A and B are shown apart, each in its own frame.
Chain A
Amino acid sequence: MNKISTTEQVQRSLKKRYRAEKRFRMYGVTSIVIGLLALLLLFTEIISKGVGAFKQHYVSLEINFDADDLGLDADLFTFFDAVREDYGNKLHSELKIADQHATMAEALSEFEAQAQRDFGMTVIDALQAREQQLADANFTGIIRNSLRERFPSVKSRRDRRALYSLVSVGASFDLRDRVNADASLIGTTQKLWLLADDDLDTYVKSLNDSEPFIGRLKENQVEFISSWLEKNEIDARFNTIFFTSGDSSEPEQAGILGAVMGTFFTLLVTLILSFPVGVAAAIYLEEYATKNKFTDFIEVNINNLAAVPSVIFGLLGLAIFLNFFGMTRSVPLVGGMVLTLMTLPTIIISSRAAITSVPPSIREAALGMGASRMQTILHHVLPLAMPGMLTGAIIGMARALGETAPLLMIGMVAFIAEVPSSWNDAATVLPVQIYLWADSPERAFVERTSAAIMVLLAFLIMMNGLAIYLRKRLERRW
């Protein structure tokens, strides 16, 4: 009989076991590599697509601020520039509001005599005349004049229209703001950089590609652009508009500030509501509630709610907040309340876990020293559990940051051009903005979509980073 010793047997299988061990480790490494590759692919895709959005092209034009062409009374504007110098810009911006005219009349009384002498009307009427003139002024007209002078050979209506469309419609509002800020411009000719239309912008950006993107541009428009390019009259600048304005249907004027502010107000409401409620619920369930069928039932429900698809919460919000309480559509207050419902379970679960991890000895010591239950919780348990609770809250918030589905139902998936200034103003949020831009036909929105995704990812990374920092900073070990 051929008997082998145990040692021999082990030795024989040893190689095989080592190989198995190695393979097992390789599986793990491969998984990580696949994950990293996917992440790398996602990032390169988004960044390569979106990086263009941080640049925007401008066209240089000689703009003649002719008072007659614009229909402006230069004296009137100069007069109010002088008034403004005395009172500062703040007063001036308030002056625009009709309701405040009465109170402003008093403040402006010292200019009354001058206004009567120069314009034959009261200073308030003069101000209103100024505002009216500014609103009616034909700034598009002077841009068109300048374009015609630049390309005198363009004669037919059709070609002129093609030429005009290369400058953004936003340029006339830009000129209006310039004149509003400085009356001395009236009557002068200035070389200004005006915002270019998105078609021009996309084309010039693609010039270095193997095949430039012509898109909707006609042949003569391409010629105009090359003429500008030859004379260096097209310039790429950092796209500040993208960070300082709200949504727009014209890509070159569209920005994410509206969505960022909307996100801020929505998350603020969510945090204010969900953190105290979540922590209070967790404390009660952990520290006070006795274990019985009822608390078990609550626990099961909380765990279930954490897994409910978010759109359900949107429907709930529609039924309760909008239809029953009659609250306004599209506002961050309602959005925040809906997201509160969604994040509450997450916060309760993580807070409970944080409270459980506080060693019982600490509670016993506090109670032994004569502290009441409340004192024990507030002075000892809560501070020790805080890092875990905060981490949970921030992760819940980060999840809320990425939600669109529940907001769809309450009207926050909408075109909102104005930047919200409170949680009662109509607003939208970053992921919704991304969705809306991805759905827009204009090509220039493609890069803006990716750029907005980059901003959203930056926020997510910041929030998760904060969670890690807080945990490391506040965590205590026993």
Chain B
Amino acid sequence: MKRASILALTASLLCANAFAAKDSISIVGSSTVFPFSKVVAERYGKSTQFKTPTVESTGTGGGFKEFCKGTDIATPDITNASRRIKQSEFDQCKANGVTDIVEVLIGYDGIVLANSLEAKQVKLSRKQIFLALAEKVPATDGSEKLIDNPYQKWSDIDKSLPDVKIRVLGPPPSSGTRDAFVELAMEGGCSAFPWIKAMKKSDKDRFKEVCHIMREDGAFQEAGENDNLIVQKLAADPNALGIFGFSFLDQNSDKVQPSLIDGEEPTFETIADGSYPVSRPLYFYVKKAHVGVVPGIAEYLAEFTHERAWGDEGYLTDKGMIPLSEEKRETIGARVKNLEILTKL
């Protein structure tokens, strides 16, 4: 008797649940955009009558996967991304009926190489980063051959670099930070060799193989998705370098210092104007079919694209996001207001 009533209760709950209207926005996607997204969500929830959106950190790829599942009300309304949507993801979305997507570029994030304050600040070029971290590097005699990475110490690469063992801690391949680092720093570095750069046109797969594969002999160590952990390990080992997002550098300036890359120190200014080479754009994508169905999406977009949020002195910059230029904010803000959809990449 008791059991039967419990089963009935569960069944009724299930049915009620499946057809219940969604009353709050659900957001998925990049772990890099996550902190920015949740500040906006929270302020929006406190200052409007709408419920605070649910923000999940699934990673950029995982976010698109959920987002593109369809236009059903149970699917996410917004997905965050630390890179632009890929053609394959766009096609996947279209195939599932998610045809109207609004793209919003919100700002930039810098990826930094940093070491403990106890050690000297390091100055590197992207070429040196590539030589230190790639699995295969061009032969030392200058011929166009690839050999297993022979460099054990930084000073082996260049005399000006410190005479310590190469030890770099970084995120695993599932992380967006790693993707961006590989694309911006490593690819930038290997393009410094003209014959590898030429490969990009002739044999793209081979080019990626050469530039993207990190060495696995211990000089580069995967330290997990948790950037705080990398900071802690750096503080304990002055000889190690770490790779993480700019916001973590901002919050831990008492423990770690950034390395100069191509002569540029990562700061708000150098990332915003593009002179710091390892920075990436941050986006979010909105399912237009849900605007007006799920309450408050338009208001959330308005909050996000308000000057007090993404402006030069907005609260997102306090959280470490690098703002867009004023003209860009204006054009994108207008596009968002009109909910202009993304037609092609």
Footprint of B on A, CB under 8 Å?
96, 135, 161, 165, 169, 173, 213-216, 248-250, 272-273, 276, 280, 322, 325-331, 333, 411, 413-418, 423-424, 426, 436, 438-443, 446
Contact = CB atoms under 8 A, between A and B. Distances in A.
Contacts of A415: 34, 37-38, 41, 54-57
B227 A439 contact: yes
Given A414-B57, A415-B38, A215 B228 contact: no
Contacts of A424: 13, 16-17, 20
Contacts of A436: 57
B74 A161 contact: no
Given A417-B41, A441-B247, A441-B251, A327 B56 contact: no
Nearest to A273: B10
Given A327-B14, A333-B13, A441-B247, 19 more contacts: A161-B313, A173-B46, A215-B251, A216-B250, A249-B42, A273-B10, A327-B18, A329-B56, A329-B76, A330-B54, A411-B26, A411-B54, A414-B56, A415-B34, A416-B54, A418-B51, A438-B226, A441-B320, A442-B251
A328 B34 contact: no
A173 B42 CA distance: 12
B39 interface: yes
A173 B48 CA distance: 12
B52 A418 contact: yes
B270 interface: no
A416 B6 contact: no
Interface-centre pick from A248, A414, A418, A423 (highest chain B CB count, 10 A):
A414
Nearest to B37: A415
A157 to B, nearest CB: 9
Nearest to B26: A329
A442 B250 CA distance: 9
Contact of B226 (A169, A439, A442): A439
Given A328-B17, A328-B22, A441-B250, A414 B55 contact: yes
B248 interface: yes
Interface string B1-24: 011001000100110111010101
Nearest to A408: B58
25 contacts: A96-B49, A135-B47, A215-B254, A249-B35, A249-B38, A249-B42, A272-B10, A325-B14, A329-B26, A329-B54, A329-B76, A330-B26, A411-B28, A411-B56, A413-B56, A417-B42, A424-B20, A438-B226, A439-B227, A440-B35, A440-B228, A441-B35, A441-B227, A442-B251, A446-B228
A298 B48 CA distance: 54
A441 B52 contact: no
B18 A325 contact: yes
A441 B10 contact: no
Interface string B50-69: 01101111000000000000
Contacts of B57: 413-415, 436
A327 B252 CA distance: 41
A411 B133 CA distance: 35
A300 to B, nearest CB: 26
Interface residues of B, number: 53
B253 A216 contact: yes
Contacts of A273: 6, 10
Contacts of B268: none
* 4 nearest A-B residue pairs (beta carbon): A415-B55, A414-B56, A417-B52, A415-B38
B318 interface: yes
A213 B254 contact: yes
Interface-centre pick from A273, A276, A331, A442 (highest chain B CB count, 10 A):
A442
Contacts of B3: 276, 280
B207 interface: no
A319 B16 CA distance: 20
B74 A328 contact: yes
Contacts of A327: 14, 17-18, 74
B208 interface: no
Contacts of B20: 328, 424
A248 B247 contact: no
B111 to A, nearest CB: 14
Given A161-B313, A169-B315, A443-B252, A248 B227 contact: no
A141 to B, nearest CB: 13
A249 B41 CA distance: 9
B272 to A, nearest CB: 17
Contacts of A214: 254
B326 interface: no
Interface in B315-336: 315, 318-320
A406 B112 CA distance: 33
B118 interface: no
A417 B254 contact: no
Nearest to B75: A329
B281 interface: no
B222 interface: no
B313 to A, nearest CB: 7
B340 interface: no
B28 to A, nearest CB: 8
B163 interface: no
A333 B17 contact: yes
Interface string B95-119: 0000000000000000000000000
Given A325-B18, A414-B57, A438-B228, A272 B6 contact: yes
B254 A418 contact: no
Contacts of B37: 415
Interface-centre pick from A417, A418, A440, A441 (highest chain B CB count, 10 A):
A441
Nearest to B38: A415
Nearest to A411: B56
Contacts of A329: 26, 54, 56, 74, 76
A447 to B, nearest CB: 13
A438 B6 CA distance: 38
Contact of B52 (A411, A416, A440): A416
Contacts of A423: 13
